[in-house]
Structure formats: structure tokens, C-alpha cells
Structure 1
Amino acid sequence: MSRNQRPNMRIAIVGAGIMGRTLAWQLLNRREPVALTLFDQDPIHTGRAAAYTAAGMLSPYSELESTELAVFHMGLASLQRWPDVIASLRQSNPSALDFFNRGTMVVAHQQDQVDFQRFTTQLTSKLPHCMSDDMGLHVQSLNQSQVNKLAPELATRFAHALYLPREAWVDNHQVMAVLGEYLLKAGVDWQPNSLVNHIENASLALMPPGAAVYLSSAKQTFDYVIDCRGLGAKQDLSTLDAQSLRGVRGEVITVHAPQVKLQHAVRLMHPRYKLYIAPRSHQHFVIGASQIESEDNGPVTVRSALELLSAAYSIDAGFAEGQIINMSANCRPAYSDNLPKITCDQRVMHINGLFRHGYLLAPILAQQACERVFNPDFASPFTQLIQEVRC
């Protein structure tokens, strides 16, 4: 190494869920060279991360009705970044990754029209004023004739719908797999089956300063450590954040239904839940809705299965002949306000609380985190989501 050549910054990422993998991709695609280590308690190709129990929805408009405007703005910024992520990953594996950008159809049965109108009013009233002049680019109210033209498979059961043309979704299992392949090919030092017990800043006497990752059998030090463990970071975060991290249970069912021809993502209004259906390739569909205040990671309950499947059947009778491929449940990390946070403490950074917005927000949070690593004076445009202890 020449005298003027700086060594690569040694960065460790702890946690290989969607946030950890997207962050690793972002670090590898910056100008600054890094030596990247990735720790995860699971094997490389499978795991218990919440990212494996998801529909991969990129739906900032749908979520706006029940979430903060800040999440909407971050979601829009992240949605614009996803095509770049997909294009980058397809360079190494062109055929292994789908990107569905057909938009979302929001519908309701006749008895639930009050909920549909409430959703529509909340969504349109919370949209930024700058979008009002081009509302049709963001939200379209469709009568039955228009529904029949755009999504004829829905027109027989729904007299009108709300169409959100800019929403998209990805296949979560594909994304996790292809990101994993990409990181391995890029030479990331991936240490699977490694349970991290603790992360802390290294001794202040060290020059240059750094941070340490404590495993059951050893300690490894780095220039910077970024914690993406989700609920696994609960103990370390308890000393930094007054808001406690909690788990919110979600349940999804994957069905192979050759008779169902849905091409758009569908959201069904209901007094107790908002069911969504995300089409996948080869007539597979992911059905989900449940949001339960529980950290129980047990199997899908009978009640949830009955509700999800009966609601899907009420949208399209073709689901009756479908085959259940998988039922899964998991807990997503969330703070009390359901907003994500980047928490900085010297050479340790925590990214957590993505709630049900993991796939939606991961690219923009990764970009924000990288900016803070390489530029401590970076001013985020999303300051209300950034809790800084000290960077």
C-alpha cells in the first residue's frame, strides 16, 4: 500500500434481514472502498428474519391512511430507488428477480363502504398539496366500467375501486436470495450461524476509534458497526432509547391458484383488517392482513387462516380451488410510534423499528445510513426519523 493510499474502512453489519442486506448492497455501490463483514445468527440461504414473512409491498400510498406523512415521503423516495437496486442485482442474475409495478386496486364489499370512504378521505386529505394538480398520477377513482377495463377479474364483485398506479411490490424470497448471492460474489465476509451477544464502542484509548462485536466465543473490532438485528437488538437499544422496541406479529399465506387472474395488488377494506393480495409469478399469490400486538412467533392461528382465506375467496372465487403452499408468521420490530429510527452512538449505528415497512423503506434508510457513516455532518431531509445520540 502506498503512503498516500488509505486503507478500506472496516465495517460490520449485524443482521442479514432485508435491512442488513440492502445496506450491504448500498455500501458496496459507493465510491468509498470498504471491507465488509456481515454477521447473522442464521444460515445464509434461510432464516427466521421477518423479511422471509412478508409480501414485499412497496405501497406508500396505501399506508398513508394509517401512518405518518414522514413514512410516506420516505416511502416515495425509496420506491424511486428500488428500480436501481433491481437493475444492479439483475446484472449478476438477470432472470431471478421480478419487479411488479402494476399498481394497487383498493376495493370494498357493499357492507364495508363506510370503511372504503374513510380510507379514501384519509388518503386524499393527507396527500401533499403539491400532488393535487396531478392527482390522477397518484390516485384514481374508478367506476365499474373503468374497473372492468383495467381489472375485469374484479368488476363482477366490485362496482368501484380506488387505483394507486405508482405502487409496486417484489417477491421477498427472490430479493433475499439474490441479494445474498450478490454479496457473496462481491467478497463480503459473511459469518453465518453467529449469534452476536453485544455491540459497543471500543475503548476510547484506541486510535483510530472503532467498535466491537461480541460473539459467544470471541470479540471482533471494526472501524464502524451497524446493527440491523431487529428485535435481536432490544437489549442494546434499551440503554440508548427511551422508547422500547416491541414485536408486532404478522401472518401470511402463499397460495397457488391457477384460476385466479389478478394482475394488480389488491387491498380489501374491512372493519377489522385491511387484507392485501400480492400476485407473484406462475399464479402464486401472497395473502396477508393480520397485525397483532404480540411477540409470539408460533404458527399461523386457525382464526387468521380462516379470515385471510375467506376474504381472498370473497375477492375471487378462484381461490377456492387453490393450493396452500405455505403459512408463516413472524414478528416485526416496531417502536411505540411505529416509526423507524437510525440511532447513532459514536462508532455504532442502530437501524431499527421498520415495523411493516421493511421492504418499502430499506433502500432509503440504507442510503441515509451510509451518508452518516462517511459524512458525520450530513443533514437528513427526514430528520424526524433520525434520533442521534452522537455520531
Structure 2
Amino acid sequence: MLNVAIVGPGLVGGALIEQLVAHAQSSRFTTLPISVVGLINSKKMALSATSFSAASLGQWQTAILGDSAQPADMDWFANGLAGLKGATAVVDCTSSDVIAALYPKWLSWGLHVVTPNKKAFSSDLPLFQEIKQLSSSPRGPSVYHEATVGAGLPVLSTLNDLVRTGDQIIKIEGIFSGTLSYLFNNFSSPDATQTFSACVAEAKANGYTEPDPRDDLNGMDVARKVTILGRVAGLEIGIDTLPVENIVPESLRTVSTADEFMTRLPEFDSHFSDLNAKALQAQSVLRYVGFVDGVDGNSSVKLARYPLDHPFASLKGSDNIIAFTTKRFPNPLIVQGAGAGAAVTAFGVFSDLVKISERFGCTSSVDSSKF
């Protein structure tokens, strides 16, 4: 049985709980040897030596983290997990760098880590290297973070397979942001008619952007994903030295509110329209992409042109697309699909938990009403 504790059961963590409950209650599946024993958020926590029931997990906000829950204490919580019998995985569903910095401690206590949190793998290189070293033993604690790039898409697992089998990574190129994918798929196409500011407003209204769209347009989320891919590929890449094109107009980077930014963004529609017109004149479209250069190390994040017959040009909606060019795959190996959203991100986390349970030979001892 794999004990599982979820840190930060918000959108993604909540979706993960829903998927675990649905799986357990479906007669179509064999019961997984996964037991949810702990939940903790910024205010409250609950830890059990036995499984929470599917019924209580279905109402976890009140049944588990309700009024009777203890005040949150992360050190106490992790210590309690380390004392449980059998394999135990901590699922970090936060975006906190403070929580990410705890991974080495958790690993040293024998806890597995599964997370969609990009911070530990894209911030300071020494932290990444320490985590990698502590999780390097075949039978020791492991770290799985498939969902940090591409949500539920098999991006990191594909890259890991290429690296472990000795392939040479020449280039990884991709559209890694669901927000920027949606934005430029709608703005830059032969039949598009909307202005750039109108596309941003539509994306914001449909929930594709952060509350402040500048947090998407500055490229830093893509930069973190490029950094993770580069490091997994064996490059000593750092987000602080990675060239990143910030497409937020310079005079709007310091305005105090998102509302003011949105109000003034139409002032720059002509700039983006000119870029788009030049691309279309060249039978191309604009796409916001990340590059990992496995040969010369010239990785970057930028707005680039792609010809109309390129796979990146035909992308629809908010999909991600990642192309791996390697010695074995000179014609790129392409992974494409939904790369954002709580459900697909939770799926990526769920699949990592299944991998740990299989890797460590966890066996089920509970019926379909529990985990």
C-alpha cells in the first residue's frame, strides 16, 4: 500500500482527490494500492494512520479539513508521515518555493515526492542537484514531476526515456503555455480578425490567463519549463541566465493594477498587428515558444515565426506541442495535447503515483470504498 498525503488540496489537489475517489468507486477498475492518509493546507491539517474513506474524501473540505482539523504544522505533518509503515508519497500541489525547499528533508526521511510545482526544478541549480542526488538510488525515495511540464502530457517521461537510452538531444522546441497558445492561435492566423488586446481580453474572460495577464505574457512560466527540460536533458541551465522575451509593452510593466494594464493594452495593438502582418506576408504565423539547445547551449524563450505548414502553425485552442529532435529522431518526435487545467494536471500527478506504487511493489489490501 502506498500512503499518500496531499499538500495544498486546492484546484489541482482537489481534482486529484476527485479522480482517486472516482477510480475507487468504479467497478471498471482494479482497486489501486493507494491510500490517502493526509491533507494539509495553509491553515489546517489532518493525518491518519489508516485510509480516509472515499465518502470523507468526497467532502474533504468539511469532513477532513473542517472545524475539527488541527492547525497546520508542516514539520509535524511530515514527521508523522515518515513514521508510517510502508512507502509514503508527499504530493505537493502548491506553487510555493518554501514548500519546494523542503523536498531534500522529505527525501532524507524516506518520503517519495510527487508534484506539479515547478519551483524546485527550475530555481537554484544546487537545490535541483541535491534533489536529484537524494532520489538517485533505485530502491530509495523517488521524485516524480511529470506535471511540471505539459500537465498530463508525457513530456518528461519521453525525455527521460530518450536520455536513459543514450539518445543525443539536439533540440527541444515547444509551445509550453496554454495561455499563450490560445492567445496566438487566435491572434495570428490567416483568417484572424481580432486585435491583440481583444484576444487577451477574451483569454482572460475565458479563464485562460492569470488574474494579471502580465504573469503569462512575461514568459517566465515558459522559462521555468524550458529550464526543467534542459536540466533533465543534462544541461546546467539556469532561469536567471536564460534569454526570455517579455512581450508586455515596457511602459505597461510597472502599472499598478491588472485593470490598468488591460485598459491601456489597446494602445499597443498597432505594434502587434505590424508583427503579425509581416509574419503573414511571409506565409508564417507568430507563436510564443521555448527552445532547449542540446548542442550549443543557446536555449531561449521568445516570439517566433513558423511557416503555415509547420505543426506549430496548425495548433488549435490552448493545446501544447513539444518537438524532440534527437540523433535517433531527426524528424522530430512530437507530443501534443491539452497542457493546462486542473483535471489534466491531476492526471499527471495520479499517473506518477501509480508509477511509484508499481515500482515499489505496493499491493492492495483494501476494498473499493477506501484507499
**Structure 1 length-normalised TM:** 0.27
In proportion to residue count, which structure has more strand? 1
In proportion to residue count, which structure has more helix? 2
